[in-house]
Amino acid sequence: MKTAYNLRSIAAQAISQVLDKGLSLSTVLPGLQKNISDKDRGLLQELCFGTLRVLPQLEWCLQQLMAKPLTGKQRTLHYLLMVGLYQLIHTRIPAHAVLAETVEGAVALKRPQLKGLINGVLRQFQRQQEELLQRMANNDSRYLHPSWLLNRLKKAYSDQWESIVEANNQRPPMWLRVNRMHHTRDEYLQLLSGAGIEAVAHPEYRDALRLVTPCQVNLLPGFAEGWVTVQDASAQGSVDLLDPQNGEMILDLCCAPGGKTTHILEAAPKAHVLAVDVDEQRLKRVHENLQRLKLSAEVKQGDGREPQVWAGDRIFDRILLDAPCSATGVIRRHPDIKWLRRDSDIAELARLQREILEAVWPRLKSKGVLVYATCSVLPDENAQQVAAFLESHPDATLVETGTLENPGRQNLPHAENGDGFYYAKLIKS
């Protein structure tokens, strides 16, 4: 039976909302997926994430194939062409199916008069594919990153920037966090092995396992019972550093979607956790995660710069500040970040991080621990931020993470390791 929707046209609309309206894929896709079968959802995500991952390659190819780009009301058809090219270059979908479905996408987008154009451009690409891709391999489009971000990476990591870019352009590995309230990591490895799922333990983070081949969560032993959570290894490292203890009052600030909140409670089930985030919508995910794992925390909506509003006069034994950041360490999970961020955002984000850090430091008890974390790889948000804070706060001491000359610890994205992530652990004297 033929479906009533055209996936390629839906993918083109999603990409249009990201590139023209500045919305993230995670915001756009849930609404567009409502009436789509489970089988097709996976393909829709592949088309959207994949197209945005290799956007400069597709844009460059279209510039060679067309005298002028489609603009204005026809702009969505430009993205439809990109979706078509993505399938021809990067998927195993048979070329005849790619052409048929992508051309039909023009009808679904109410531009049937452009069917011939879509068909012509894609066929022309098929004829020239090898030559075009060879030519592209010699220009900067091959890095698949905006020039401002490439420049920052080259400046910060003169020897490693190419490996960072390469990792960003890969599909992300699938990491699990074993719930230590149910099993040790070794016990869960045995359960996975019994289910025919191959996994590798992280050498450092105690609850982290990487699946050799990603799989659906419903295939994971005890997922519905809360035995395991999907969470990147580097994100897990921040709670290992925090080292929460039972009986403590702990603040998880900028907590959504709740991965670290639940990890804190798995490590210290008798701690009192206050989980705060500025985004009301994303707090729904925190509640869902707590519910699935049968854990409880005090969850509040609030701005990190105004602790008096959501904390009253409370002070905390430990604070995990997962600061709002450029997310340049998690590009392989969210390729739209490359096109949503601007160079000018970095200074603004650094200012916001500094304001939150200044606001919550007085809420930490004497001898208390604060872990400052970001999923960024940019020094402005990380080592430079913490160095400036240490200089202006003589009651803050850096421990376990770096030196005063180079404060904190920077993880870089790696195919067999976690995402790009930064941590600094501070103790209040």
| Distance, CA of 125 to CA of 61 (rounded, Å) | 8
Give the residue ranges of the annotated binding site. Answer: 254-260, 277, 303, 322
- Tally the residues of the chain: 429
Ranges of beta strands (E only) in 162-294 are 174-178, 199-201, 208-211, 228-230, 249-253, 272-277
Apex CA 384: angle with CA 379 and CA 390, to 5°? 150
Determine whether 302 is exposed, middle or buried from the number of CB atoms within 10 Å of its CB (0-12, 13-18, 19+). middle
CA distance 184 to 169: 33
- Known binding-site residues for S-adenosyl-L-methionine equal 254-260, 277, 303, 322
Helix (H) or strand (E) holding 369: strand 364-374
Q: Using alpha carbons, select from 261, 256, 249 the residue that is nearest to residue 293.
A: 261
Distance CA 424, CA 403 (A): 10
Distance CA 339, CA 92 (A): 26
* Distance, CA of 127 to chain centre: 36
DSSP helix/strand/coil, 300? strand
Q: Is residue 375 annotated as a catalytic residue, yes or no?
A: yes
According to DSSP, residue 69 is labeled -
Structure tokens at 158: 């003169």
CA 44, 48, 51: angle at the middle one, nearest 5? 135
Q: What is the DSSP string of 302-354?
A: --TT-HHHHHTT--EEEEEEE-----TT-TTT-TTHHHH--TTHHHHHHHHHH
Place of tokens 């699938």: 174
Catalytic site residue from 48, 61, 325, 375: 375
What number of other Cβ atoms are within 10 A of residue 299's Cβ? 20
C-alpha distances (whole Å) from 41 to each of 38, 223, 295, 395 are: 5, 21, 30, 51
Q: Which residues are catalytic?
A: 375
